[in-house]
Amino acid sequence: MDRATESPRASLSPTLSDRLTALTRPGRARVTLARRVTAAALTALAAVLLVRGDRDGDTVPVVTAARDLAPGAVLRPEDLRLTPLRTDAVPNGVVRRIDEATGRTLAGPARAGEPLTDVRVLGPRLAGAAAGVPDARVVPIRLADPEVTDLLREGDRVDVLALAGDRSPDARVLATDAAVVLVSPQDSGRTVRERVVLLALPADTAAAVAAASLSDALTVTFH
């Protein structure tokens, strides 16, 4: 029997299936209320996103690498560009003008688009950060054994030793825990023995190492 031919008595005695269907079927009032709540929530979310979008949209120009750069590169204007960066993403010590970085030596490799900071180029900030003391200096040395230079990498920690003579096994320690900040690349145009290692050291120790480099053969031991 279809519903069209159901008796009034049958319609007044719903089955268990009819009752479950009625319980799960939302009424008009419930649907209207749910729609209003959803609309209010979406309106509030849009307002929050609008406020956050305005705040995060504030940008400032910072100096970034225009292309991949190798350590030891002397920065030229064509190596750099100004890039807008969100204020909440600007790193500490970032360089904000191209002329502030032009002519400086890059202490490590930089990827295209990477912001340049004061510790990415040779200078007092880099020396202090590498040596861990505020009065640090960067001192250049040439090692007696050029093959050791090939093994050094930026960030290595070494002790600096002065050899008493070519045939003497005696050596004296000039500095401990020196930070390697730059090794001149093999394609820099220098001969093997002319390649330079830059070390960050406290000021008094750096002076002693620099003086010894003029007369003694120097080497390093790795940590």
Q: CB–CB of 61/84 below 8 Å? A: yes
State the pLDDT at residue 98.
Answer: 92
Average pLDDT over the chain reads: 80
Q: pLDDT band at residue 143, thresholds of 50, 70 and 90? A: very high
State the pLDDT at residue 18.
Answer: 60
CB neighbours (10 Å) of residue 28? 7
% of the chain with per-residue pLDDT over 70: 71
Domains of the chain, CATH where assigned: 58-120 (3.90.1210.10), 124-222 (no CATH)
**Of 205, 221, 200, 217, whose CA–CA distance to 162 is shortest?**
217
Tokens read off for 93? 């010590």
The whole-angstrom separation of Cα 63 and Cα 94 is 7
State the pLDDT at residue 126.
Answer: 86
pTM of the model: 0.62
Residue whose entry in the numeric block shows the structure tokens 């620099």:
210
Residue 1 has pLDDT above 80, yes or no: no
Residue whose entry in the numeric block shows the structure tokens 């970034």:
64
State the pLDDT at residue 13.
Answer: 62
CA angle 118, 112, 116 (to 5 degrees): 10
**Of 103, 85, 106, 102, whose CA–CA distance to 94 is shortest?**
85
Question: Which residues make Cβ contacts (< 8 Å) with residue 17, sequence separation at least 6?
Answer: none
Mean pLDDT over 78-92 rounds to 92
Q: CB–CB of 191/181 below 8 Å? A: no
The string of pLDDT tens digits covering residues 59-75 is 999 999 999 998 888 89
